[in-house]
Amino acid sequence: MIFIAPLSITNSFQMALAASGSGSSGSSSENRVQFDLVDEPGRWFKNVAGDITNSGTQSLAVGTPGVRVDFNIRSNTVHTVTSLIFPQNAQGMPFDQPKASKSSQSVTLQTPGLYVFTCKVHPYMFGAVIVDDPQTQGLDLGENISLVNGITVPTSSDLATRLLRTFFIATAPSNWQDYRQSTWHVTYPNVDIRIAGGAVVNLPTVLNARYGNDIALEAPFDPSTAGVGKVWVDTQFELTKNKSKPGTATKIDTTTWDIERKVALPSINMNNPHNMWTDRDQKLIYQTQWFDSKLTVFDAATGKLVKNISVGESPAHVMTRTDTDQVHVTLNGEEAVVELAPKATGIQREIPMQKEGEPESHPHAHWMSSDGQKMVTPNAFSADSTLYSFDSDSIEAKPTTGAIPIATGMMPDDSKYYVANLLDSTISVIDMDENSTTFGQVIKTINLIENYDPISGAITGPVGALPIQTPVSPNGKYMVTANTLTATITIVDTATDEVVTMLGCDAGCHGVQFGAKNGGGYYAYVASKFSNSLLVVDADPNNDGNVSDAKIAGRILLTASSTTAKDDTITGNAGMGGQGVLATPIPYNGWVQNLPATLKSQLTSEQQNPIGQ
């Protein structure tokens, strides 16, 4: 349904923009906009003119046809400026950089409508420009918008407005879900917009009607059954007193569900901690700094810094080999995986994820095989996946996947692996059986939006749009995927590779890892970027292999309590930015067998040998 609204708000807004130079840093006669790309949560594309709509976002600008948009890198790492959304058939679109860098970029926008830019390395960074035709009423969004993956929809469609809503949530920390409160309010710019068919509608009226507002938040609650060990969550956007950069690692005791520790590491100004893993003894935490160039190592018991190692641009994910305990870190801002000695005592080599002459890969969330002989990466820039063999020290396959492949999961018997394709909302299933004629090939594509109508918004079954982390359960029976646009958790039966069920998630649903459940079975721990709660998912409550009865077993508030140990004072975005998750002791096949006896004794016999081989 489309709502027609008075035009007085838009007219006054446009006059205010004209007086301030259309949201630019110059005079009203200068049709120019400047964004600084920074490490600040929410304001990653930061309009130097500030919040021009008084709605909380500093990532929106408005200009007229011919507006020049400058992008200046003020970050500790490399980025791209990449078109995500633009008016259909817009002149000069799509705009992209083939290589991530710290250099400034400029683009001139001629066609009226909505333009949204992102970074392919950090694809939740958003900056938007509305090119407004001053001869029309309302701010022009255009008749249709095109996405960089080729989809085109009317600006009145559910997909268009859902993406617009996501932009205003992601770019305004005041719009994030705070589970210390009882309701969730999202503030939108109170402006009129011109959409498909020339209709002029009030933006918040449409978004509130479609998606609601002042939504009741479920109170946090503990699972009735304890977990085993600890869960670490990268609360990447949490701010602390003695750092200029954001981020903490949050430690949860799963026997009590208390927040045990916050690790900010102010001595190194730890910057956007993104993903974690641990050593064979479960005594060290390997922590990547995604908006920087460092792998940090700290003590799992005390949170004390052990070392801070320069590894390369935008280190994203980290895992170990089961056979050697060597550490492997993907360089999302480059084209390789860095291999370090056990306990990260030193860099041993860089392993390119593409052959000479091929497009740069820029790998993100990799996975390692249970025998330590294979590594797979999703390659964000080359839209493919690398299947690498340590045994032959070579790339064995490089199948094409989808747009911005971002994460992987693998069967515990190393028979196949999965790649989540962010912009296509699909998961590629790739054969790893070396005796198969389809080895290294995509054998199925799981369409996570098959049950979604992008025009009407009708949902007729499980749906997951913009999937991110997607691990397979340690016993290999199912896969859990966090989907950021729809804020849903989808669960796939790995025997059929069909989506079986869907659960609700929080804004910016992002990170998933499995941990052992006390007495048998597993919990999937799900973290969300724009929320301060951790969901505890019991996908198979009675451990019968049927995930149709999956449920949310608990919701843990990620803010510090009076008993939480801290190495710095928390000053903002409390518990926000949940991304990387790590449960210790690690429950996955290949790793679990190498646990120290004291940790292994906490697990059932089935958990100690999850696939019975």
- The model's pLDDT over 7-39, given as tens digits with 9 standing for 90+, comes to 333 343 444 354 334 444 333 458 999 999 999
Q: Are residues 203 and 294 in the same domain?
A: no
Which residue ranges of the chain lie beneath pLDDT 70? Answer: 1-29, 613
Contact 298, 304 (CB under 8 A): yes
In this structure, what DSSP letter does residue 343 have?
Answer: G
Q: Which amino acid is at 144?
A: N
Average pLDDT, the chain: 95
Q: Are residues 595 and 570 in the same domain?
A: yes
d(CA 585, CA 227): 11
- Choosing from 157, 192, 216, the residue where a domain stops is 216
Q: Has residue 338 been placed in a domain? A: yes
Q: Are residues 416 and 499 in the same domain?
A: yes
Q: Has residue 138 been placed in a domain? A: yes
- In the chain, the number of structural domains is 2
Q: Are residues 275 and 208 in the same domain?
A: no
Q: Are residues 119 and 256 in the same domain?
A: no
Q: Has residue 360 been placed in a domain? A: yes
Q: Are residues 575 and 471 in the same domain?
A: yes
565: three-class secondary structure by DSSP: strand
d(CA 482, CA 382): 23
Q: Has residue 225 been placed in a domain? A: no
d(CA 28, CA 21): 4
The CATH number of whichever domain residue 33 belongs to comes to 2.60.40.420
Q: Are residues 555 and 419 in the same domain?
A: yes
Q: Are residues 534 and 388 in the same domain?
A: yes
Contact 586, 282 (CB under 8 A): yes
Q: Has residue 221 been placed in a domain? A: no
Q: Are residues 196 and 341 in the same domain?
A: no
Q: Are residues 60 and 174 in the same domain?
A: yes
Q: In this predicted structure, what is the pLDDT of residue 7? A: 30
d(CA 80, CA 97): 6
- Choosing from 216, 251, 272, the residue where a domain stops is 216
Contact partners, residue 111, CB within 8 Å, separation at least 6? 65, 86, 87, 89, 90, 91, 93, 131, 142
d(CA 54, CA 60): 11
Q: Has residue 427 been placed in a domain? A: yes
Q: Has residue 2 been placed in a domain? A: no
Domain that holds residue 149: 8-216
8: three-class secondary structure by DSSP: helix
Q: In what order do the strands lie in the sheet with 126-131?
A: 60-63, 126-131, 113-118, 82-87, 144-147, 152-154
Q: What is the pTM of this model?
A: 0.95
Q: Are residues 203 and 340 in the same domain?
A: no
Q: Are residues 265 and 203 in the same domain?
A: no
- Choosing from 157, 181, 216, the residue where a domain stops is 216
Say whether the peptide bond before residue 273 is cis (omega within 30 degrees of 0): no
Q: In this predicted structure, what is the pLDDT of residue 613? A: 66
Taking only the tens place, the pLDDT of each residue in 349-385 is 999 999 999 999 999 999 999 999 999 999 999 999 9
Contact 460, 439 (CB under 8 A): no
Task: Return the structure tokens found at 317.
Answer: 């994910």
The CATH number of whichever domain residue 266 belongs to comes to 2.130.10.10
Q: Has residue 193 been placed in a domain? A: yes
Contact 291, 269 (CB under 8 A): no
Taking only the tens place, the pLDDT of each residue in 212-252 is 999 999 999 999 999 999 999 999 999 999 999 999 999 99
